[in-house]
Structure 1
């Protein structure tokens, strides 16, 4: 996700001031953790971890279900805070809280049945693997879906016996702070702690030698710095970072339907989704009706009113990408201008005649922008989609099973979606590649990320006086 701009104003060394992206009005001033707070939180998590690890898995699951229930009771409050801090519509923010509740409940069920594997060895011996918690987990989470993402990481970390220090994005400190208050009440002291602050607090956390695992959802640059710091501390790293997700539109699909899919992928949450559609390759045979329909989708959203970006600094980045593309020869079918008035609004924008050398195609824009390049064949579109340094996700719209299979094999991404821009089964997982990160971010596999495996070989002791192993058979 895009976090290259700081979405807060520092008013004092230990304070953050947050502004409503819809109006520019001050939402509030919040405390930022100091170095001694960071050290104290990690030390407390370390001290609490042995007892939490020794808690039976079923009991950890029960407490996680209690935390989910407590979160559900505070859904309206958290959604309202989220809307004020990030500009996300209340209904969407409420859906994010509901997703967080469901994720906690999912891990409450999966955690107690998370187990190792038996190994084939000597018939008279036992060989198996046992999963153990890594220890202290630091979770660094984003602002674009702050409750759902945090709950996924917290649920998997806690239910497997890790203690957690959570730092939410500096753009939504009160959401993170309140989420921590609600969930921590279900657990023993210091099992779940929350620290608010900016990049300086995150940097201090990565320098703590007693942290065993870092989980980060955010920009690729920040993720790379965390991975570099972990080389020195030996911590395990899980990263879901930036993406530049392509959409390939084949010649045999309905262009109106394809445009609807593209609009959902590019404009939902004002383009502020890690797996948003960031670049589109459409077959020349359907390009004209597809582009007309996509522009109509953008106009409808602009007429109804699209939610603001998280802040004006992000808007500046989005508009810089769009302006550069227009200067280099792209055409705006819809949008592309900064509106008058307060807040951080930016219109749903459709750009034609884009090339892959433009920033809007090569980098993560993280705004409601749909840049389009026309291609002469599905193979050309697939080749272009596979290029680049990111490897988060990609979507292909096609009626051809052969083309779908080619895309699945060729696209170097963690998730390939065929004929559905968003969606997927509950419990699905993702393993990003390249600059987009490393490790599983969701699903049952996330439990594996928060544990390490111990291999056990157990043989029988020799019988007294025989020097041979007891075989347990009657003579």
Structure 2
């Protein structure tokens, strides 16, 4: 790891400099890990109800400054203020959820001639590496679950939103004893130094598959990885094509396609394809009346390269597909027709406002295409057939299958990616299990002195 340098953040909306921050130095990394190691035993010994109260206080602090934090998120990432504020409040709600669940998180017992019981214990020091696309909500899930179960945490937010990460730290850290929660600003070099440390017991990472694979090569800690996705949307021939187009647009264009579970590839039955494509193009033009920028121009270039490669390979850009003039990192909602499975845009994660459409002749063909690929994050099926829905959720090799809704889910829902998309539960009560290890205690009957 080299010496400190600066991270510059430019506005995705007008390319102006938002600010710069120095990255953590090697001694900063060492000091943060040392403080976390020293503080963790005392935090683990703190009664679970008190740990829950601290996490609840952190949620309240977040709610009180939700407007300020949403403004910083918007400034750094381009996410619209209202949506950014929803993300902040979702983070606060997640902290509140873990404040309730943590104190009642327990093991189980077995009764026989003796008694065996299983006790969850904190793993130790957790390194949390969090993304820029929903920076507060994702961070709060990992931090809340780790802290309430008695772990200490070193958090490195994405270098694309370091001011967001520092403000979050300012709000949360005072709720916990010194050293229990530390935040470091840095890029991949700082993250690499953290995950390779032998003092780290858990690495929780939400981000790209390439980074997740690097972590797997260099870390000896327990890994919780939610990485890239190439989520398919399969549309049966028995649904309303206009409704299906609305679902497709919502899944592909929300937050400019920069969501972990965005729709990345669409398979539609050819009998409803003309009406579906017409409606999807109308949806895209509507989204383009109030565009949202991508996080930066570097990412925009990546998205546009995938679109251009698809067009070169024979796809048709029915809407969008061109970099607009002017400042900022804007890219239009784009509809691509005549796509095929060999195209990069159907095989790799795009993470932008692009809806690539491939026609299929049957539900079976579409399901086979949707099951293809290395990723295993999520998938959506739109169908009126219960039989098709049942077959689809059983066959799709992903952690989450959604039927007749591209987004949504019950409060406290869990997610467990597969394949190149990662491993381990990232949400829900199950995340408490990931953040703890189990000790089995066997209580035998003593042979008392006569």
TM-score with structure 2 length normalisation? 0.99
Which residue of structure 1 lines up, in the alignment, with residue 146 of structure 2? 157
Paired residues in the alignment total 448
Query: Does residue 1:428 correspond to 2:413, yes or no?
Result: yes
Which of 341, 346, 355 is residue 331 of structure 2 equivalent to? 346
Which residue of structure 1 lines up, in the alignment, with residue 279 of structure 2? 293
User: What runs of 5+ residues in structure 1 fail to find an aligned partner?
Assistant: 1-11, 466-475
Deviation of the 1:121 alpha carbon: 3.1
Which of 165, 169, 185 is residue 180 of structure 1 equivalent to? 169
CA distance in 1, matches of 2:360, 2:341: 12
Which of 224, 227, 248 is residue 262 of structure 1 equivalent to? 248
Kept in 1: contact 2:4–2:24 (CA 8 A): no
Taking structure 1 as reference, are residues 388 and 278 closer, same or farther at Cα in structure 2, changes over 3 Å only? Answer: same
SS of match in other structure, 2:357: strand
Which residue of structure 1 lines up, in the alignment, with residue 110 of structure 2? 119
CA distance in 2, matches of 1:454, 1:211: 20
Deviation of the 1:14 alpha carbon: 2.1
Kept in 1: contact 2:87–2:134 (CA 8 A): yes
Query: Does residue 1:464 correspond to 2:442, yes or no?
Result: no
Deviation of the 1:397 alpha carbon: 0.2
Which residue of structure 2 lines up, in the alignment, with residue 103 of structure 1? 94
Which residue of structure 2 lines up, in the alignment, with residue 282 of structure 1? 268
Deviation of the 1:196 alpha carbon: 0.5
Query: Does residue 1:204 correspond to 2:193, yes or no?
Result: yes
For 1:8-23, what aligned pairs fall within 5 Å after superposition? 13-23=4-14
CA distance in 2, matches of 1:409, 1:65: 38
Which of 227, 239, 243 is residue 241 of structure 1 equivalent to? 227
Kept in 1: contact 2:414–2:429 (CA 8 A): yes
For 1:33-432, what aligned pairs fall within 5 Å after superposition? 33-122=24-113, 125-230=114-219, 233=220, 235-303=221-289, 305-432=290-417
Deviation of the 1:357 alpha carbon: 1.1
CA distance in 2, matches of 1:245, 1:89: 24
CA distance in 1, matches of 2:388, 2:109: 40
Return the index of the structure with the highest Cα Rg.
1
Which residue of structure 2 lines up, in the alignment, with residue 440 of structure 1? 425
CA distance in 2, matches of 1:93, 1:347: 20
Which residue of structure 2 lines up, in the alignment, with residue 473 of structure 1? none
SS of match in other structure, 2:288: helix
User: What runs of 5+ residues in structure 2 fail to find an aligned partner?
Assistant: none
SS of match in other structure, 1:197: coil
CA distance in 2, matches of 1:148, 1:253: 33
CA distance in 2, matches of 1:446, 1:386: 26
CA distance in 2, matches of 1:259, 1:456: 56
Aligned CA RMSD, in angstroms, stands at 0.8
Which residue of structure 2 lines up, in the alignment, with residue 4 of structure 1? none
User: Which digits, 9 at most, give the CA deviation of each residue in 1:17-65, with x for residues without a partner?
Assistant: 1100100000001110001100110010000000000000011001111
CA distance in 2, matches of 1:17, 1:313: 13
Which residue of structure 2 lines up, in the alignment, with residue 9 of structure 1? none
CA distance in 1, matches of 2:405, 2:415: 16
User: Which digits, 9 at most, give the CA deviation of each residue in 1:246-290, with x for residues without a partner?
Assistant: 000000001111000000000000000010000000011111101
SS of match in other structure, 1:285: coil
Deviation of the 1:460 alpha carbon: 1.6
Kept in 2: contact 1:39–1:208 (CA 8 A): no
Deviation of the 1:120 alpha carbon: 4.0
Deviation of the 1:105 alpha carbon: 0.1
Which residue of structure 2 lines up, in the alignment, with residue 26 of structure 1? 17
CA distance in 1, matches of 2:140, 2:89: 10
SS of match in other structure, 2:110: coil
SS of match in other structure, 2:99: helix
User: Which digits, 9 at most, give the CA deviation of each residue in 1:373-425, with x for residues without a partner?
Assistant: 00000010000000000000000000011100101110000000000100000
Deviation of the 1:207 alpha carbon: 1.5
CA distance in 2, matches of 1:382, 1:137: 39
TM-score with structure 1 length normalisation? 0.94
